[in-house]
Amino acid sequence: MAGWKKALLGLGVLLLVLATGTAIGAYALVNRYQSKVSRTDLLGTVAKPKDEQRWKSGPLNLLLLGSDSREGEPDQGRFPGERSDTIMLVHISKNLDKATVISLPRDSYVNVPAAGPWEGGMNKLNSAFAFGGAPHAAKTITELTGVQFDGAVIANFASIRKLVDLVGGVNVCVPYDVRSTFSSKVWSKGCHDLDGDEAEEFVRQRKEVPGGDFGRIHDQQLVVKGIMEKVNADGMLTNPLRLDSLLVTAAQALTIDKSVDLQELVLAARQVKPANVKYATVPYTSANLQTPAGSAVKLDDSKAAAMFAAVRDDTIQEWLEANPQKAPEG
């Protein structure tokens, strides 16, 4: 089975590495973790030609791909939805001191280029995975956004559960009630402490969350932020044994594009702090567009184009300040 099928929320692992970059700046330590990382071709023909200077001074654009597939794992029958993909674009600014994480709704109705039996045309964004794996998803996203990627990262799903437990749980504050479709759990409006199992179940919810997939995207971002905040606030960066366990887990969960050097990635992002990471979702006009592929998300063509242009121009955080986004409402 292709490695990308086992992945979800590579962002959580990547940002963990970014958050701990300063602590593992020594080459010997980075090499220790680099040897545990899996590599494959995630970008295919749309990989941006490598520029050593850009990795030293920015800006950089990274693609995060994932899937809810549990095939081959002990609990594969617990969570349905094998193509429930997570798609995120991470932009690291010039001077490498800020990052912006943009979620692309998996059901966005976009042009998906021809691949395999698919002759090309409009379809849901996550269908690109089924037609041609990660490289075809990357091609589809590059055509949609006009953004060329310097690298791509995915991560094994179980990493989220393990990482949350390793940091001692995370705290999330939700602006609405979330009801689990897999158990009787309810996360009422307010703040909650989650262990690894709860965090995994929480980020999978989309049917009983305000905004559906948009609520799910928001909840995923809450857990990612919770991991980053806990790592930075809990003294983990200065505790060698705990830090090593955390990074071994992260490294073993990572699959990175064959062109990416983990050492360069860590050194490039070591100045990015949690307070300088902003989260956003591509603007849309309808979450219930009726199409031949089923109910889909209609992106706001004008605002989405402006957002992607701001990424390309390295002005995305300024654009977000001028175009603030709200969390889904209960």
Angle at 267 between CA 261 and CA 273, to 5 degrees: 125
Cβ 45 vs Cβ 259: under 8 Å: no
For the chain, what is the mean pLDDT? 79
Provide, rounded to the nearest whole percent, the portion of the chain with pLDDT above 70.
Answer: 75
Write out pLDDT tens, residues 262-287: 667 766 776 777 778 888 999 999 98
Show the 3-state SS of the chain: CCHHHHECCHHHHHHHHHHCCHHHCCHHHHHHHHCCCEEECCCHHHECCCCHHHHHHCCEEEEEEECCCCCCCCCCCCCCCCCCCEEEEEEECCCCCCEEEEECCCCEEEEECCECCECCEEEECCHHHHHHHHHHHHHHHHHHHCCCECEEEEEECHHHHHHHHHCCCEEEEECCCEECCCCCCEECCEEEEECHHHHHHHHCCCCCCCCCHHHHHHHHHHHHHHHHHHHHHCCHHHCHHHHHHHHHHHHHHEEEECCCCHHHHHHHHCCCCHHHEEEEECCEEEEEEEECCEEEEEECHHHHHHHHHHHHCCCHHHHHHHCCCCCCCC
The answer to whether residue 223 scores a pLDDT higher than 90 is: no
Instruction: Judge whether residue 126 has pLDDT over 60.
Output: yes
> pLDDT band at 298, cuts 50/70/90?
very high
pLDDT given at position 243: 67
For 286-314, what is the mean pLDDT? 96
pLDDT at 274: 72
More confident residue, 73 or 105: 105
Q: Which residue has the higher pLDDT, 13 or 140?
A: 140
Residue 73, CB half-sphere, CA atoms under 13 Å: how many? Answer: 18
pLDDT band at 220 (very low <50, low <70, confident <90, very high): confident
- 77 CB burial (10 A radius; 0-12, 13-18, 19+): exposed
76 pLDDT more than 60 = no
Q: Which residues partner with 88 through β-bridges? A: 64, 103
Which of residues 22 and 302 earns the better pLDDT score? 302
The answer to whether residue 75 scores a pLDDT higher than 90 is no
Which tens digit of pLDDT belongs to each residue from 84-101? 357 889 999 999 899 898
Q: What amino acid is encoded at 152 in this protein?
A: A
Q: How far is the first Cα of the chain from the last one, in angstroms, to the nearest whole number?
A: 39
- Reported confidence tier of residue 73, pLDDT bands at 50, 70, 90: very low
User: In this structure, are residues 77 and 58 in contact, taking their beta carbons and an 8 Å threshold?
Assistant: no
Specify whether the CB–CB gap between 161 and 200 falls below 8 A. Answer: yes
* Cross-strand bridge partners of residue 151: 62
Of the pLDDT bands very low, low, confident and very high (cuts 50, 70, 90), residue 216 is confident
User: Phi first, then psi: what are they for 136, rounded to 5°?
Assistant: -75, -35
Non-local (6+) Cβ contacts of 283 within 8 A are: 299, 300, 303, 304, 307, 323, 325
pLDDT at 89: 93
pLDDT band, residue 156 (cuts 50/70/90)? low
Sign of CA dihedral 248, 257, 153, 71: negative
Lowest mean pLDDT among 33-42, 54-63, 235-244, 296-305: 235-244
Amino acid at 289: L
